[in-house]
Amino acid sequence: MFSLFRRKKKTDAPQAPSAAAPQQPALPESGDVDVQRAAGAEQELELVPSAEAARAARRGWMQRLREGLKKTGSGISRAFTSVHVDEALYEELQDALLMADAGVPATEALLQDLRERVRAAGATEPVQVRALLLDAIADMLAPLQGTLTIGLHQPTVIMATGVNGAGKTTSIGKLTKHLADAGASVLLAAADTFRAAAREQLAAWAGRNQVEIISQQGADPSAVCFDAVNAGRARGMDVVLVDTAGRLHTQKHLMAELAKIARVIGKADASAPHEVILVIDGNTGQNALAQVQAFDAAVPLTGLIVTKLDGTARGGVLCAIARWCATRSAPLPIYFIGVGEQLHDLQTFNAREFAQALLGAA
């Protein structure tokens, strides 16, 4: 098991590993998560990476990602069994990308980019075209890479939103574990106040990770969040994680409620919420893009988590999201992707890794 979080190296202290710090492998530089302390906070804990363990863990992760994206990538790979680089190959690729839910604008952009790369490289073999497509996909997805930074505010208030069953509570639970392992103090807010099962599910994660939870049956979700942020401030917590109730992006009143929750959080801490993360299910394909657009319109999003990329045939939707995000005023990073229900199945997003896994490349 390895942590998603790593401490920023202190500049005013020797860089020697702390004896108390657990051996934690590091992730690649991109898409990593920084835990910093707000000014005046306690001394930083430095996590010491073990390079060997990090490489082994990352290899295991790539294998799971590759397995998870097999269905999405199989059509694309099939196009490259063709003997010649001709129009038939491009047509087959187009069909495969559309089948993978990349959507029309992203598919067209990718193929145009690919044709230019093929021309520039003078590529004549399908295997060369495949490598160039990998580059094109990685470049398209690169703006989705981003770092979730904890510790610039105390507490950092993070709202998780999304439709029912997307994986909000599970992702919050996994993040809580990673944060707690990294030494950050976490307070959970159960803002899904109406479903007892939802509160119990979050409470189970709180218990497992030995973190505190604010939960109140039948209360107004905004009121629970207000209490949680105030409690987080009073107790000097590093992070307040808010689990909101699932809602369809087409339900106007529930989307308005989400905006209200964000406003009320702002009353407890004018700079909060610091992160509004939309959790989307990788199986929902093009609908996931509609969710991103609608949630972003209700409460400006700061990041995404894409779950259930294990076994989906529709993972191409990340290209559609990247294409849409290019038109947005601010970037919208994918902080994490999930390829299963286990703790280590939630990892940071790396565009090139994703493209490699999609094309079954080593």
Ligand X SMILES: Nc1nc2c(ncn2[C@@H]2O[C@H](COP(=O)(O)OP(=O)(O)O)[C@@H](O)[C@H]2O)c(=O)[nH]1
Residue 209 binds what, of Mg ion, ligand X, none (CB under 5 to 8 Å, by partner type)?
none
Q: What is the rounded CA–CA span in Å between residue 108 and residue 76?
A: 15
Q: Whose Cβ is closer to ligand X: residue 238's or residue 310's?
A: 310
Residue nearest to ligand X (CB): 338
Binding site for ligand X (CB under 6 A): 162, 164-170, 246, 279, 307-308, 310, 338-341, 345
Q: Whose Cβ is closer to ligand X: residue 143's or residue 165's?
A: 165
Q: Whose Cβ is closer to ligand X: residue 80's or residue 295's?
A: 295
Q: Whose Cβ is closer to Mg ion: residue 96's or residue 198's?
A: 198
Question: What's the order of all strands across the beta sheet hosting 186-191?
Answer: 212-215, 186-191, 239-244, 156-161, 275-281, 303-307, 334-338, 346-348
Residue 273 binds what, of Mg ion, ligand X, none (CB under 5 to 8 Å, by partner type)?
none
**Smallest gap, in angstroms, from Cβ of residue 202 to Mg ion?**
7
The four Cα atoms 252, 255, 260, 266 give a dihedral, to 10 degrees, of -150
Query: Whose structure tokens read 């490289």?
Result: 121
Q: Whose Cβ is closer to ligand X: residue 57's or residue 339's?
A: 339
**Smallest gap, in angstroms, from Cβ of residue 176 to ligand X?**
12
**Smallest gap, in angstroms, from Cβ of residue 169 to Mg ion?**
3
The dihedral built from the CA positions of residue 306, 308, 311 and 317, taken in this order, carries a sign that is negative
Q: Which residues of 153-176 are buried (b: 16+ CB within 10 A; e: fewer)?
A: bbbbbbbbbbbeebbbbbbbbbbb
The four Cα atoms 142, 143, 147, 152 give a dihedral, to 10 degrees, of 160
**Smallest gap, in angstroms, from Cβ of residue 172 to Mg ion?**
8
**Smallest gap, in angstroms, from Cβ of residue 345 to ligand X?**
6
